[in-house]
Amino acid sequence: MSTKKRVVSAVLAAAVGVSLLCGFGVAKKDYVYQQFETAESVTSVTVKDASAKVTIRAADTDHITVRYAALPDEEPLYDISVQDGRLVVEVLDDVDVDTTDDDGPALLRIRMEGHSIEPFSDRELTVTLPDKQYEQLEAGLAVGTLKVEGVDAKTLSAASAAGKVEVTGVQAEQLDLASAAGKAALRDARVRNAEIGAAAGSVEIEGVEADELSVGSAVGGVSLKQVTAGELEIGSAIGSLKLEDVRADAYTKAGFILHTSGQIQNR
């Protein structure tokens, strides 16, 4: 899908605001840590959480470790399993993300049964993987911060409904990175094809090499620094564009960009 179409879709889906239909709580909690380990061979990874600081990283190890914070005497928070070469880490809460417009401005709503979603949760989930190539890595988060570090995957997707998504030091043939309301950042990556977007927020890309790179923001700024691409597509419905040391064989810009600094040079 082109950047222009993605930007319009993002606006219709979630650009105006975020309504979290749940309880709020920001008090510091005394967590205890639970851990799951396995030496089973895994070729794909799926991680889905509701509200947390989530980190998925590759390390020099021969086994998988999933470590998370929980309250004392709390029921298990996650369903963690390995089956047919696929690791699944999924929050047990029933989380539903809905973008119904109710005949008015489009709002992204998150409904949750069970544990309350906390917009500033300090609960942590860390998934450590052996340093190898994976067929697929998929990570999704409703509210919070999602980080993917040093992972090599043929297909890699990371998305947050409300929060920050940061992908660093990865390699991928296909990379999809998105934040509905928040910040999307890609740094020090080598990818074949990448699509990166934020509906209401900013996009930052630095130290990236790509054959095809598509970047879009519905409402917010886009920043590219030390980026090299074969084909580069940039779109913004309403926002600014900052370019620094950006090179491409071919490029297009679409949308209503209020301010542009820097330029795109031939590779």
Pairing verdict, β 171-219 and 222-261: parallel
Residue 257 pLDDT: 67
72: DSSP letter: T
pLDDT at 217: 87
CA dihedral 31, 147, 91, 181 (to 10 degrees): 110
Tens-digit pLDDT profile for residues 56-73: 999 999 999 999 988 888
**What is the reported pLDDT for 121?**
62
pLDDT at position 78, please? 92
Cα-Cα-Cα-Cα torsion 72, 161, 149, 190, nearest 10 degrees, comes to 170
Q: What is the mean pLDDT of each run of 10 residues along the chain (267 residues)?
A: 39 32 48 93 95 95 95 85 96 55 42 47 90 97 94 96 94 95 95 93 96 91 96 87 96 80 91
pLDDT recorded at residue 72: 86
Compute the distance between CA of residue 235 and CA of residue 196 in angstroms, rounded to an integer. Answer: 10
Instruction: Please say whether the beta carbons of 121 and 29 come within 8 A.
Output: no
Please state the three-class secondary structure of 214-232 as a single string: EEEEEECCEEEEEEEEEEE
